[in-house]
């Protein structure tokens, strides 16, 4: 058996390394500012459509936290030709699926449908980009749904509110301070008049990107997109992006929290640069070495060898503006919080003081290589990657070009970013103990 093992490793090292296939795309901008991105994929007769609106919870005005997400719900409440709740019905009756999500930076609407429905979906999206039509009654019912969503996701689950607490303490001035779902108080304060202003400011072609990936001919798709979106006028209101910069943190912040949780937890957030920053690439590779897979450093030390943690991981939340790198532990029953924190910090310092091994660096890059292949199989995943590159990076070409940046990350780079970002003064720690 051992012989087989060394043989296969030998073969592996000899074999040329396969590069995942790039996503081939076409990109154009209409005169009203709407960006169009297409990717043909004829392997299955399925097409995914995504409309990316460049507005998220960081764009909310004071006293209206949660509004971007509440607004996302309202986009299903009817437009000139589509009755409330009819959007999903049309899609599911076609055998498709549709949904939407709101994040700090963007709100994205998507549909995956049998390929013959592309034109209809584009028409439906254009309809709600131009003629959204929400009644007061539907507004209120949907606001209740969102409050219920907050209860389901944040308030009821044992660890549901940790993110909210951490962000509130880690950020002082940047709007990432509040989480996307917002506060109950602000949701209650939101009214139908906010809907109009938000819609006319942000839901305009010059703030949107349409991505389609799937089984169509590019020329045909472009023709339809121009037909349905081309004559929508640009927005007349100016879009002001948040411009505050979070001041550097130079002292560790610690928050103690007592809650009805089954096991104690430790969460630390370290300030890191934005998605696409040169330092983000070594940070992603570092997180892979720290906690991707059962051979990763944190898993081996905290979960496997020392048995301190039920779960432990470290990974960055990379967004349009600088965000946080998380190190999280859910303690094993009876394990010591101090020992777990020490073991975790030992791994972070080790990354800053000694170079990672060749094997570990290769492993992290192979994982990234696999991620580029396995994470881009479906038309939805491909459209998602294109939309992210275009809207968050402002450069669609990064959908393929970032691959080389990951492959070029060197040991010295990893040490440098670990030293730069993983110091105690740069972190906010949340210690959660059971009531």
Partner 1 sequence: MRLGRRIGLLAILLLTACSSSRPKPEGPPAPAPLGRVDFPSYDKKVLPNGLTVYALEYHEQPIVAIRLMITAGAERDPANLPGVAAFTADLLNKGTKTRTATQIAELIDQVGGTVEAAADMESTNITARALTDSVNVAFELMNDIIMHPAFSGEELARDQQQAASNLIANMQDADFLADAVFQRVIYGNHPYAHLQGGTLGSIPRIRRDDVVKFHNTYYAPNISALAIVGDLSSAESFKLAEQWFGSWQKKDVPQRNETEIPKLEGRRLVIVDKPDSVQTKIRVGHTTVARKDPDYFNVLVASYILGGSGSGRLYQTLRAERGLTYGAYTGIEPHRGRGDFYSTTDTRTEKTAETLNLLLDQIQKFRSAEVPPDELSNAKSYLIGSFPLNIEVPNNLANRLTTVFLYELGDNYLKTFRDRLADVTAADVLRVATDKISSENVAVVLVGKANGFTHQVEPLGKAELIPIDALDLDSPTLRK
Interstrand relation of 427-434 and 253-259 (parallel, antiparallel or unpaired): parallel
Tokens linked to 97: 């699926």
**Is residue 149 close enough to count as binding partner 1 by CB under 8 A?**
yes
Bridge partners (DSSP) listed for residue 112: 48, 97
**Is residue 21 close enough to count as binding partner 1 by CB under 8 A?**
yes
**Is residue 142 close enough to count as binding partner 1 by CB under 8 A?**
yes
**What strands, in cross-sheet order, belong to the sheet with 26-29?**
26-29, 35-40, 208-214, 46-53, 107-114, 97-102
Phi, psi dihedral angles at 154 (to 5 degrees): -110, -50
CA 141 to chain centroid, in Å, comes to 28
Task: For CA atoms 342, 348, 349, 354, give the dihedral sign.
Answer: positive
User: What does the per-residue mask of binding to partner 1 show for 222-241, with x meaning CB under 8 A?
Assistant: --x---x--xxx--------
33 vs 114, beta carbon nearer partner 1: 114
Bridge partners (DSSP) listed for residue 433: 258
Footprint of partner 1 on 391-410 (CB under 8 A):
none
- Find the shortest distance in angstroms from Cβ 119 to partner 1: 5
| Cα separations in angstroms, 199 against 191, 196, 203 | 13, 5, 5
- Find the shortest distance in angstroms from Cβ 247 to partner 1: 35
Task: For CA atoms 194, 196, 199, 200, give the dihedral sign.
Answer: negative
**Is residue 262 close enough to count as binding partner 1 by CB under 8 A?**
yes
The residue range among 128-136, 318-326, 394-402, 406-414 that interacts with partner 1, by the rule CB under 8 A, is 128-136
Q: Cα(first)–Cα(last) distance of the chain, in Å? A: 51
Which of 24, 31, 157, 220 binds partner 1 (CB under 8 A)? It is 157
Task: For CA atoms 216, 222, 228, 232, give the dihedral sign.
Answer: positive
Bridge partners (DSSP) listed for residue 100: 109
The residue range among 62-70, 321-329, 369-377, 389-397 that interacts with partner 1, by the rule CB under 8 A, is 369-377
Non-local CB neighbours of 85 within 8 Å, separated by 6+ positions: 76, 77, 78
The residue range among 148-156, 348-356, 393-401, 413-421 that interacts with partner 1, by the rule CB under 8 A, is 148-156
Which of 4, 240, 256, 358 binds partner 1 (CB under 8 A)? It is 4
- Find the shortest distance in angstroms from Cβ 107 to partner 1: 18
97 vs 337, beta carbon nearer partner 1: 97
User: What does the per-residue mask of binding to partner 1 show for 26-45, with x meaning CB under 8 A?
Assistant: ---------------x-xxx
9 vs 173, beta carbon nearer partner 1: 9
Which of 189, 192, 274, 431 binds partner 1 (CB under 8 A)? It is 192
Residues in binding contact with partner 1, number by CB under 8 A: 107
- Find the shortest distance in angstroms from Cβ 357 to partner 1: 11
- Find the shortest distance in angstroms from Cβ 82 to partner 1: 10
């Amino acid at each position: 058996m051992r012989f087989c093992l060394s043989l296969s490793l030998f073969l592996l090292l000899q074999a040329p390394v396969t590069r995942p296939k790039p996503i081939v795309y076409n990109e154009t901008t209409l005169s009203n500012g709407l960006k169009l991105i297409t990717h043909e994929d004829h392997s299955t007769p399925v097409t995914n459509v995504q409309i990316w609106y460049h507005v998220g919870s960081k764009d909310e005005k004071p006293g209206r936290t949660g509004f971007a997400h509440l607004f996302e719900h309202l986009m299903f409440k009817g437009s000139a030709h589509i009755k409330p709740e009819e959007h999903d019905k049309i899609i599911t009756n076609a055998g498709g699926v549709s949904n939407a999500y709101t994040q700090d930076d963007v709100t994205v609407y998507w549909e995956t449908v049998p390929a013959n429905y592309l034109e209809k979906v584009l028409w439906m999206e254009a309809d709600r980009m131009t003629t959204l039509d929400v009644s007061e009654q539907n507004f209120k019912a949907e606001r209740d749904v969102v409050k219920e969503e907050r209860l389901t996701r944040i308030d009821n689950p044992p660890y549901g509110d940790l993110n909210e607490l951490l962000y509130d303490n880690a950020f002082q001035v940047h709007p990432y301070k509040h989480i996307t779902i917002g506060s109950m108080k602000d949701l209650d304060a939101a009214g139908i008049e906010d809907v109009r202003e938000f819609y006319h400011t942000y839901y305009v072609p010059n703030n949107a990107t349409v991505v389609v990936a799937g089984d169509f001919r590019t020329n045909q798709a472009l023709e339809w997109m121009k037909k349905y979106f081309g004559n929508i006028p640009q927005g007349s209101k100016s879009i002001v992006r948040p411009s505050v910069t979070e001041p550097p943190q130079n002292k560790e912040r610690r928050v103690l929290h007592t809650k009805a949780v089954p096991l104690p937890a430790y969460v630390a957030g370290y300030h890191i640069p934005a998605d696409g920053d040169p330092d983000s690439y070594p940070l992603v590779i570092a997180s892979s070495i720290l906690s991707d897979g059962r051979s990763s450093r944190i898993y081996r030390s905290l979960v496997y060898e020392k048995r301190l943690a039920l779960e432990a991981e470290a990974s960055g939340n990379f967004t349009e503006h600088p965000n946080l790198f998380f190190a999280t532990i859910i303690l094993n029953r009876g394990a010591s919080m101090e020992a777990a924190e020490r073991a975790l910090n030992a791994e972070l310092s080790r990354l800053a003081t000694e170079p990672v091994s060749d094997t570990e660096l290769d492993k992290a890059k192979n994982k990234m290589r696999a991620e580029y292949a396995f994470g881009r199989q479906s038309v939805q995943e491909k459209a998602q990657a294109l939309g992210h590159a275009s809207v968050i990076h402002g450069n669609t070409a990064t959908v393929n070009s970032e691959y080389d940046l990951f492959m070029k990350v060197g040991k010295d780079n990893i040490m440098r970013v670990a030293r730069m970002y993983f110091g105690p003064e740069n972190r906010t720690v949340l210690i959660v103990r059971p009531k």
